[in-house]
Structure 1
Amino acid sequence: MDILLIAGLWLDGSAWDDVVPRLTELGHRPVPLTLPGQGDGAASATLDDQVAAVVAAVDAAPGKPLVVGHSAAVSLAWAAADARPEKVAGVAMIGGFPAGDGRAYADFLPVHEGWMPFPGWEPFEGPDAADLDDDARKRFAAAALPVPEAVVKGVVRLTDERRFEVPVTLVCPEFTPAQAREWIAAGDSPELARVTRLDCVDIDSGHWPMLTSPFPLALLLAGVADLHADT
């Protein structure tokens, strides 16, 4: 199965470099995506541009792909399921909850001169970054890509309620499946509350398991893909 991989803010397709070989060994076709505005200097790139790129990757897949979104990019994966509910085998959401229709994509950190730069580690102290040592933090910060303002302030648009019939696996890194279900039951994620088939699975990592736990993450994603291979 094709597995489309979408990394979160400040990352591009290279974030999956340690996950891709393992997924290939496990018999799948990983497709890490680098989207408009990710390292190409295109400050004019918009959220709609990024959604369109993900939908185009879905359309290009020979069968129904598993669409994987990480952190804020779970909203991109979910938008693809909304745009192509009949063509997406499942969505895996790593460490994030999708924004609902009419909500801003990721407008929660300062923007400077048209870009949202990586803010440093202070906002992520605690479970998010506990498994990143000093060297890993320095490498991450040095490679972090600023995100265009029109992406982070873009408004999510969801129009097809058939998206709720697409199976969703919520991968829980810095929080537990029990916590995730509590938050959803409390109304913190109206989108996931309406999903017909929602699985919450644990992974022992911080917020960036593709960097700190690539082999366990690959095994988990391969298992999800295998589960939906015949859908």
Structure 2
Amino acid sequence: MDIILVPGFWLDASSWEEVTPPLVAAGHAVHPLTLPGLESVDAPRAGIGLRTHIDAVVAKIDSFDAPVVLVGHSGGGAIIHGAVDARPDRVARAIYVDSGPLGDGGVINDELPDDGDDVPLPPWDLFDDEDLVDLSAELRAMFRARAIPQPKGVAQDQQHLTDERRFQVPATVIACEFPSSMLTEMIEAGHPYVAELGRMRAVDYVDLPTGHWPQFTKPAELGAAIQAAVGRASAS
């Protein structure tokens, strides 16, 4: 199975490097992406928006003959959902890592402090305590050293969705900061934050208790969770 891995904000393809070994060992072909504007700290980010990143994922999907599995971490969840909407017949499963599908008209995060065309990695005190669970001082230093400013447009642009076949694509949510039971309770309560998720026909939930960056704090466990989800896609 071809697995396309989409990182969250401030990260490039290398952020998946400790997650992919069990996937490769299981015989899957992994394709971690570095999205436009994330090539380096000095890369130009003007004019890069959410649709730019979605189109990059769609182009990767189109490079394969068979359906693929999409994995999106954090803001990457919104990006893969846009790709699912664009190619619902080409995605065997969408896997949301501490993230979820962003509905039509939503934005990923327009409250992050920006600097021109950039959204730099903020100071740690701007994050919630739940975000930072297991992210040791060493891991924080590593993350900050490798962080690349996010294109502002990706954070602030509205999502635009058009194909309701997206709700038919099987999905897995790997819940890290908060238990999956909280998500299901929010769906039952009709909370708007999970309205798009609540309309999806087949969703599996996996709990991986840690902070918001499991690719750094629990990479082996995240790899195993993704592998199990891909196995469900292969069996369907």
TM-score band, normalised by shorter chain: over 0.9
Alignment of 1:14 onto 2:17: no
Residue 128 of structure 1 aligns with which residue?
A: 131
Identity %: 38
- Aligned-partner Cα distance in 2 for 1:108–1:63: 38
Within the alignment, does 1:154 sit opposite 2:150 as a pair?
Answer: no
Matched AA of 2:108: Y
What is aligned with 2:199? 194
Equivalent position to 2:232, from 224, 227, 231 = 227
Which residue does 1:210 correspond to in 2?
215
Q: Distance in 2 between matches of 1:108 and 1:197?
A: 31
Alignment RMSD (CA, Å): 1.3
* 3-state SS of paired residue (1:127): helix
Cα distance in structure 1, aligned partners of 2:99 and 2:231: 22
What's the offset of the Cα at 1:125?
4.1
Task: Work out the number of aligned pairs and report it.
Answer: 231
TM-superposition CA deviations, 1:85-107 (whole Å, max 9, x none): 00100100011122211222321
Quick one: distance in 1 between partners of 2:161 and 2:171? 16
- Relative to the length of structure 1, the TM-score reads 0.95
Unpaired runs of at least 5, structure 2: none
| Of 41, 44, 47, the match for 1:42 | 44
1:177-198 deviations in Å (ceiling 9; x for gaps): 1111112223221110100001
Give the aligned residue type for 1:202. D
Q: Do the aligned residues in 2 keep the contact of 1:51 with 1:79 (CA within 8 Å)?
A: yes
Give the partner amino acid of 2:219.
P
Contact 1:120 1:141 (8 Å CA) reproduced: no
Give the structure 2 partner of residue 140 of structure 1: 143
Structure 1 gap segments, 5+ residues each: none
Whether the 8 Å CA contact 1:180–1:200 is kept in 2: the answer is no
Structure 1 residue 39: Cα displacement: 2.9
Distance 1:204 1:46 in 2: 31
Q: Equivalents in 2 of 1:49, 1:99: separation in Å?
A: 16
CA contact (8 A) 2:179 2:209 kept: no
Deviation, 1:230, is 4.4
Shift of 1:67: 0.3
Instruction: Report the AA paired with residue 212 of structure 1.
Output: T
Q: Which residue of 2 aligns with 1:24?
A: 24
Instruction: Report if aligned partners of 1:72, 1:98 keep a CA contact under 8 Å in 2.
Output: no
Segments ≥4 residues shifted beyond 3 Å: none
